[in-house]
Structure 1
Amino acid sequence: MVASTLELTEAHTLSFGTGEDALVRIDEPKLSLAGTSAEIHYADGFTQELNLQILGEHQLMNAAAAMAVAEVLGVDRKQAAGALERMKLAERWRMQLDQRADGVFVINDAYNASPDSMKAALQTLAQLGRQGHRTIAVLGEMAELGEFAIHEHDAIGRLAVRLNIDQVVSVGMGAKLIHMGASQEGSWDGESKHFETINEALDFVRGMLEPGDVVLVKSSKSANLRLLGDDLMEVSV
């Protein structure tokens, strides 16, 4: 949509993304618990590897935007990539990955949530699941959706099932439709659970965790699941 309006402006424009005509183009993205990587191609044929410590293929788009701006400002390409690669965390509770002493991984992404960011987080979790990790998604309400709230929460539950997330846990009344959507999509044998309180959800998740599991905690800030994510980092003795 934005690209289609370029002809309406006389301002200097630059592009980034996965399109062949992008000034900074992302190619062959890869994801692991070590971070996110891709080949970055410039319009003049220059190519370099980018290895981000932060998690999620959607972070590559942010990085490409920064590299495009750096290109226009005349920043050395390798220096620009190096600065991005040294960044360990975009912000607390935003795709914040931590490993517990017992080998459980917790991705705390519960500072905010929208349908798009929820989908991106679940897709990241699903990719890690395809690498041999059991996946648990602890999901809370996406706030301020108004008339779209019912549809969007239901859709997230259904998406989690389609992505083969091993366990879905919805928390709070505002997130119950996530559980209902997952159940209607085909999660009939306990793969989706709903809890009204954070403490109930915390006890359930703690009781099922095993080394190598990856837990995603995702909600709007008002749902307070970021605090559940912090509590999950404490290993019960």
Structure 2
Amino acid sequence: MNSVLWVSFCFCLATDQIAQTGLSSLPPVIYYSEQLFKILKISNESGRVFVDFFGSNFSYNFPCAASHFVLNSVGVAASLYALNEDWKRCIRYLERWQPLDGRGNLLELTLPDSINVSVINDSFNAAPIAMKEALINFSNRQVSKGRKIAVLGEMLETGEYDKVLHKELAEIIVKEASLIDLIYVKGSLYNEFWSLLPEEKKGGKFNDAESLEEALLDMLKDNDEVIFKGSHGSSIYKIPQSMMNKYLK
């Protein structure tokens, strides 16, 4: 059975078990996961995840920088454990899993003059809560060398709250994601956000992806790490796509 089918089977099995037996008869891991398993550390350099799993520590490689996918991978293993299935086999498959483009892919690029940068391509979409979590998690990532740079496209389809939601991101960066060194943004919805952002964190504000990419490439240094996040309609995805086509190792 291939990895996709096996993981799908795991979720279907858990769902079927819940439907047949009711909530109260399932092991508590399904509902009290933080008491029984937790992520201890995610190594950015090796991509290895260290987990406390029912009182025992183990680690595995996971090829995705998006922390919610990492947590989901542990949740799948815990669900299988609760159902007396082979959770270790599932982990072996998940080590070979790859996210779809724009959903947390970790790319290693070599720019001209042998400048090596890491890119987190999380540019497929950006609901407000997803944007907030992406910024906080990126800020908390351990980067041994280089700077943390966030490139943000607009959060679209947010209705009458669009300007407020973008403005609030400035406060999030100052209070909860302060370890991000530079911010680049695209789009007029970031006007108020930009006025509130500390000067030392301002990388650049642009109206089109092409100009943003050009400015970004001119200032990147060796060992920098860059995250791209924005709604698909903001076209921010075009930048990591272009960089990958040119510079992927």
- TM-score normalised by the shorter chain: which range applies? 0.7 to 0.9
Indicate whether 1:145 and 2:158 are aligned.
yes
Shift of 1:217: 0.9
Which of 105, 109, 112 aligns to 2:122? It is: 109
Contact 2:77 2:88 (C-alpha < 8 Å) held by counterparts? no
State how far apart, in whole Å, the 2-side matches of 1:171 and 1:105 are.
21
Please give the TM-score of this superposition, normalised by the length of structure 1: 0.79
The answer to whether the Cα contact below 8 Å between 2:186 and 2:206 also exists between their aligned partners in 1 is yes
CA contact 1:172–1:198 (8 Å) conserved in 2: no
For residue 198 of structure 1, report the CA deviation from its aligned partner: 1.1
The alignment of Structure 1 onto Structure 2 pairs a total of residues equal to: 217
Tell me by how many angstroms 1:195 deviates: 0.8
Q: For residues 32 and 43 of structure 2, what CA distance do their matches in structure 1 show?
A: 17
Structure 1 position 219 matched with structure 2 position 234? no
CA contact (8 A) 2:44 2:142 kept: no
Check whether the contact 1:138–1:170 (CA below 8 A) recurs between aligned residues: yes
Equivalent of residue 99 in structure 1, options 97, 103, 108: 108
Higher helix share: 2
Give the equivalent residue in structure 2 for 1:204: 215
Cα gap change, 1:19/1:119 in structure 2, threshold over 3 Å: closer, same or farther? same
Q: Provide the TM-score with structure 2 as the length reference.
A: 0.76
Gaps in structure 2 of 5+ consecutive residues:
1-20
Give the aligned partner of residue 176 of structure 1.
Answer: 191
1:3 is matched with which residue?
none
% identical aligned pairs: 24
Between the aligned partners of 1:192 and 1:178, the Cα distance in structure 2 is: 13
Deviation larger for 53-62 or 197-206 = 53-62
For residue 227 of structure 2, give the secondary structure of its aligned residue in structure 1: strand
Query: Helix, strand or coil: the match of 1:131?
Result: coil
1:156 partner amino acid: L
**Judging changes above 3 Å, is the alpha-carbon distance between structure 1 residues 189 and 60 closer, same or farther for their aligned structure 2 residues?**
closer
Q: Structure 1 stretch 218-227 or stretch 50-59: which is displaced more?
A: 50-59
